[in-house]
């Protein structure tokens, strides 16, 4: 691994002084601030940067990048600190550019169903802002992440089966390149055949090619009618098969989430609910009243074929919120039944026809280790997560988790899938990049990285450094 | 413009001999074959390559590219020859790699709604192949183009408003790079956060970064019910406003096409139809019977608000085909009413809120020139085409057409749009690239081009050579 340029402490101090002249008290070297900026929300150990800058404009980001380029100082963009694969760890120190103060919604067009926001705007903030417009932004990875971070990691989540991921929902970007240029990728047109798709190149590049500072997004009209449901199945295969048929029939489900039996037990315990403790689908339908009714009816017919029972429908907003809160609290529910543990989180995505096989084999594998590792998934996309609850001080348990993950990724790749559907590469999945893409495609990625960041200062050691 | 390496005739002859040893009689230097491979379907003058190779496998493409790389010989990929902006013109000679014999559908998964095809498969051939599966591939740019060409130019067309363009519908690619490596971009997973989005980088790169040899595509289930309609409006603004409201309300129209009054007259003359000679929308709705009925009813309500009249519905396949044939024959209808002319075709795409303004101003501009230049558009995306019928031998007329085009692009860019929604850059729109993207973004595109094609042998002089 080439972790980028090595810089002496003296040179680092010079850069920090220059940053202070530029940004005054919006530069911090307080150790708790550094620690906070050197980690995400997963098991990856904290690796703090040398300094954190709180920037407020494209121009400030450009100036910081130019200073860093001059000194070959590494740069890591920071949004809400919710990444899961070590994207934020400053493996060789450097400057963390905290974009959370770039939190303005710059433009909303209700006519064109689009908006432009600064990178630090969070998805809940955006939807709050849109509340009176009748529009919403659908991509929902769970946490209240920044739009910049979601863009940089190509986030998706529960609504992606209907509305797509960040790949489909970003129209254009403002990016500060590794040389400090402020560029704009894309226009407000919905489609274009004008040159290379730089927008899609930066989406998912995890800060290794430039700093995303503004994002233009597609928005959607709120549906006239929304209906949520929770349905129990005799086993994971039945739930997966019902999902496959639903997708094949083109039923435009907005959400279709699998929560396995182990997680359902934990949820009942944590949320004081009394859902059947079986493999379960959580669903949501969006549309006109007639459309939602028809979708729901078709889905119910399909799922009965696969032995589904205990349909519970939620139409009122508060009932739907309660249902989704139970789903979103799954992680905390898992922690509550395994006190003292921390979740080792991993995700893969496979062609939907392989989903039942992949989950079943993974469950068997997990069972053979004796660890508690329930499964939850955005199954309409073929994407699922395993959270392996481990004692953070137990090295042997950690090794077992790593090995489960290793086998899970191999299984997904063998089935024509990807090593991560939505959590990204960061440091955690670097070792799988060559297996997934092959040496030739990795070489192309590296050529792009070298061309756009010749000093290797943009989040060095991540994503393509394999 | 840097048109790439200059090669002596002697060196060209050596490459041609090497190609003959490799491919035998699948190498042609017959002048009619060269001519055919040096042009598309638009006004751009023919510029023939030195030689045409008819390849049959990834390995053959790789071998041809390696030979060319050795000799710095330009390479241009060729599918069906239907490009519109000079993408095929061999401005500095070289090898045309004709992929039409790579015409195999390699895999279809009805479970996963995907397929993998060789680049020379055409879209009609694919849909014919899929006929018994209940699936179809929706992207329809009009001509029966190759999937490889559609991918390389980021094609879209009538169904894009519902199903997306090639950008959204390509899952993965096999590409032969400029050094002759055969790489695979992407997997069969519907989404991934694993590294740079090479798939989207090659989609729309017009053969300037590598040769696309295989394409994995999303497929869709045929709808239970399809209904088409043709509706007249008092003026273009009313038709555009009805379109905007339809999109804003989230009605999932599968097609919504504007044909202006001038084109409707020409169509009636050519197709012996008696449609009202007014600004007209052609539509199609896909869904369940109840869904289609509801969509149609909502659309009819909306359009009546904007003064629509003369609704004609077509449910039977033959009636729908007749309606769409009239729409697709518009170009020939235009030629029929302006004998001796050839169409100068251009397209732009703007935010949908600007569509009515952009079309109206363009019509006024055209009227002031006295030329016959009707308008047709995929208006649900904000994308429309003007076809300027000109005498190919009349230089003044040609200059007038160029100037109309120039002003049209400026208008679209000023409105936040793009200089081409679907026809691409090629040679024809190179001059607009910097205005659209800015110097900084163009510099990034050029860095990518240099990194991936350091010898500048892949379709030199196109797309980013501005």
Q: A261: which 2 tokens?
A: 């039996």
**Cα(B272)–Cα(B85) distance, rounded to whole angstroms?**
31
Closest residue in B to A202 (Cα) is B196
Of B34, B85, B104, nearest to B207 by C-alpha is B85
Q: Which residues of B touch A167 (CB under 8 A)?
A: 191, 197, 200
**Cα(B75)–Cα(B9) distance, rounded to whole angstroms?**
16
C-alpha neighbours within 13 Å on the C-beta side of residue B74:
27
B197–A200 C-beta distance less than 8 A: yes
Closest residue in B to A160 (Cα) is B191
- Helices B330-337 and B317-328: crossing angle, nearest 10°? 50
**Which residues, other chains included, contact B125 with Cβ-Cβ below 8 Å and sequence gap of 6+?**
B103, B105, B144
Q: Are B387 and B374 in contact (CB under 8 A)?
A: yes
**Res A361: pLDDT:** 97
Q: What is the pLDDT of residues B365-402, one digit of tens each?
A: 999 999 999 999 999 999 999 999 999 899 999 999 99
- Helices A355-369 and A395-414: crossing angle, nearest 10°? 160
A191–B160 C-beta distance less than 8 A: yes
Closest residue in B to A209 (Cα) is B196
Q: Are B365 and B408 in contact (CB under 8 A)?
A: yes
Q: What is the pLDDT of residues A315-359, one digit of tens each?
A: 999 999 999 999 988 999 999 999 999 999 999 999 999 999 999
> Any idea how long chain B is?
466
Q: How far is A370 from chain B (nearest CA, A)?
A: 29
Q: Which residues of B touch A452 (CB under 8 A)?
A: 444, 447-448
**Cα(B329)–Cα(A87) distance, rounded to whole angstroms?**
53
How far CA A114 is from CA of A152, A201, A225, B85, in Å, comes to 19, 20, 22, 29
**Res B417: pLDDT:** 98
**CATH no. for A333-414:** 3.30.70.2740
Assess whether pLDDT exceeds 70 at residue A226: yes
- A-B Cβ pairs (cutoff 8 Å, strict): 282
Pick the CATH number of B105-221 from 3.30.465.10, 1.20.1250.20, 3.20.20.10, 3.40.50.720: 3.30.465.10
Q: What is the pLDDT of residues A126-178, one digit of tens each?
A: 999 999 999 999 999 999 999 999 999 999 999 999 999 999 999 999 999 99
Spans of chain B, pLDDT less than 50: none
Query: Which of B66, B191, B287, B446 has the highest number of chain A CBs within 10 A, making it the mutation to test binding with A?
Result: B191
In order, the DSSP letters of B327-376 are HHTHHHHHHHHSTT-EEEEEEEE--GGGHHHHHHHHHHHHHHHT-B--EE
**Res A194: pLDDT:** 98
B381–A192 C-beta distance less than 8 A: no
Q: Which residues of A touch B425 (CB under 8 A)?
A: 193-195
How far CA B257 is from CA of A23, A137, B326, B383, in Å, comes to 52, 27, 12, 10
Q: Which residues of B touch A182 (CB under 8 A)?
A: 440
Q: A212: which 2 tokens?
A: 């995303």
**CATH no. for B337-414:** 3.30.70.2740
* Domain range list for chain B: 105-221, 225-331, 337-414
The CA-based diameter of chain B, rounded to the nearest angstrom, is: 69
A112–B352 C-beta distance less than 8 A: yes
List, in sequence order, every residue forming a beta bridge with A334; answer none if it has no partner: none
B432–A191 C-beta distance less than 8 A: no
**Chain CA centroid to CA A63, Å:** 29
How far CA B339 is from CA of B342, B372, B391, in Å, comes to 9, 12, 9
**Cα(A187)–Cα(B366) distance, rounded to whole angstroms?**
25
Which among A153, A194, A349 has CB closest to B191?
A349
List, in sequence order, every residue forming a beta bridge with B383; answer none if it has no partner: B349, B378
Which among A220, A290, A423 has CB closest to B294?
A290
Query: Which of B66, B186, B189 has the highest number of chain A CBs within 10 A, making it the mutation to test binding with A?
Result: B189
**Res A376: pLDDT:** 95
How far CA B197 is from CA of A10, A257, A274, B86, B192, in Å, comes to 38, 26, 43, 27, 9
Q: What is the pLDDT of residues A383-400, one digit of tens each?
A: 999 999 999 899 999 999
Q: Are B4 and B456 in contact (CB under 8 A)?
A: yes
Q: How far is A273 from chain B (nearest CA, A)?
A: 33
Q: Which residues of A touch B172 (CB under 8 A)?
A: none
The sheet with strand B95-98 has its strands ordered as: B27-28, B51-54, B95-98, B75-78
Q: Which residue is it, tokens 């990285």?
A: A449
Q: Are A412 and A350 in contact (CB under 8 A)?
A: yes
Q: How far is B417 from chain A (nearest CA, A)?
A: 5
Q: A15: which 2 tokens?
A: 């850069």
A109–B351 C-beta distance less than 8 A: yes
A249–B221 C-beta distance less than 8 A: yes
Q: Which residues of A touch B150 (CB under 8 A)?
A: none
Q: Which residues of A103-133 are buried (b: 16+ CB within 10 A; e: fewer)?
A: bebeebbbebbbbbbbbbbbbebbbebbeee
3-class state of residue B114 by DSSP: strand
Q: Are B270 and B346 in contact (CB under 8 A)?
A: no
Q: Which residues of B touch A422 (CB under 8 A)?
A: 191, 193
**Res B237: pLDDT:** 94
A247–B437 C-beta distance less than 8 A: no
Q: What is the pLDDT of residues A156-167, one digit of tens each?
A: 999 999 999 999
**Res A7: pLDDT:** 81
Q: Which residue is it, tokens 């390696």?
A: B66
Is-same-fold flag (B225-331; B337-414)?
yes
Share of chain A above pLDDT 90, in %: 95
The per-residue pLDDT of chain A, averaged, comes to 96
**Cα(A99)–Cα(A103) distance, rounded to whole angstroms?**
8
**Res A4: pLDDT:** 59
In this structure, which topology does domain A225-331 adopt according to CATH? Alpha-Beta Plaits (3.30.70)
């Amino acid at each position: 691994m080439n972790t980028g340029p090595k810089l002496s402490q003296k040179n680092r101090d010079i850069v920090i002084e220059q940053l202070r002249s530029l940004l005054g008290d919006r530069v911090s070297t307080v150790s708790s601030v550094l620690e906070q900026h050197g980690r995400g929300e997963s098991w990856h150990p904290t690796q703090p940067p040398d300094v954190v800058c709180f920037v407020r404009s494209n121009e400030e980001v450009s100036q910081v990048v130019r200073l860093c380029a001059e000194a070959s100082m590494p740069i890591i963009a920071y949004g809400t600190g919710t990444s899961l694969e070590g994207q934020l760890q400053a493996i060789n120190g450097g400057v963390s550019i905290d974009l959370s103060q770039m939190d303005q919604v710059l433009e909303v067009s209700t006519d064109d169903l689009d908006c432009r926001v600064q990178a630090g705007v969070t998805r809940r903030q955006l939807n709050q802002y849109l509340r009176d417009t009748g529009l919403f932004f659908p991509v929902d990875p769970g946490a209240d992440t920044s739009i910049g971070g979601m863009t940089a990691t190509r986030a998706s989540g529960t609504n992606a089966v209907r509305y797509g991921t960040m790949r489909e929902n970003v129209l254009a970007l403002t990016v500060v390149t590794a040389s400090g240029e402020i560029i704009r990728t894309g226009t407000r047109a919905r489609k274009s055949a004008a040159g290379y798709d730089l927008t899609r190149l930066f989406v998912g590049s995890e800060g290794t090619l430039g700093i995303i500072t503004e994002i233009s997004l597609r928005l959607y009209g709120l549906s006239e009618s929304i209906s949520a449901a929770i349905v129990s199945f005799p086993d994971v295969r039945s739930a997966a098969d019902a999902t496959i048929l639903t997708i094949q029939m083109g039923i435009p489900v907005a959400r279709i989430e699998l929560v396995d039996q182990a997680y359902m037990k934990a949820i009942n315990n944590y949320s004081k609910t009394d859902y059947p403790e079986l493999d379960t689908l959580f669903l949501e339908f969006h549309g006109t009243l007639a459309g939602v009714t028809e979708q729901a009816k078709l889905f119910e017919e399909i799922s009965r074929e696969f032995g589904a029972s205990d349909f519970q429908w939620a139409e009122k907003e508060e009932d739907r919120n309660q249902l989704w809160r139970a789903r979103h609290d799954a992680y905390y529910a898992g922690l509550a039944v395994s006190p003292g543990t921390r979740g080792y989180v991993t995700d893969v995505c496979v062609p939907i026809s392989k989903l039942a096989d992949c989950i079943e084999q993974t469950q068997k594998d997990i069972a053979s280790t004796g660890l508690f590792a329930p499964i939850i998934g955005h199954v309409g996309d073929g994407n699922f997560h395993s959270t392996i609850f481990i004692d953070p001080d137990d090295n042997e348990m950690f090794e077992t988790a790593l090995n489960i993950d290793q086998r899970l990724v191999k299984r997904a790749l063998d089935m024509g899938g990807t090593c991560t559907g939505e959590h990204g590469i960061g440091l955690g999945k670097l070792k799988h990049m060559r297996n997934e893409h092959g040496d030739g495609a990795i070489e192309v990625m590296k050529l792009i990285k070298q061309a756009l960041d010749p000093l290797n200062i943009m989040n060095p050691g991540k994503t393509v450094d394999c």
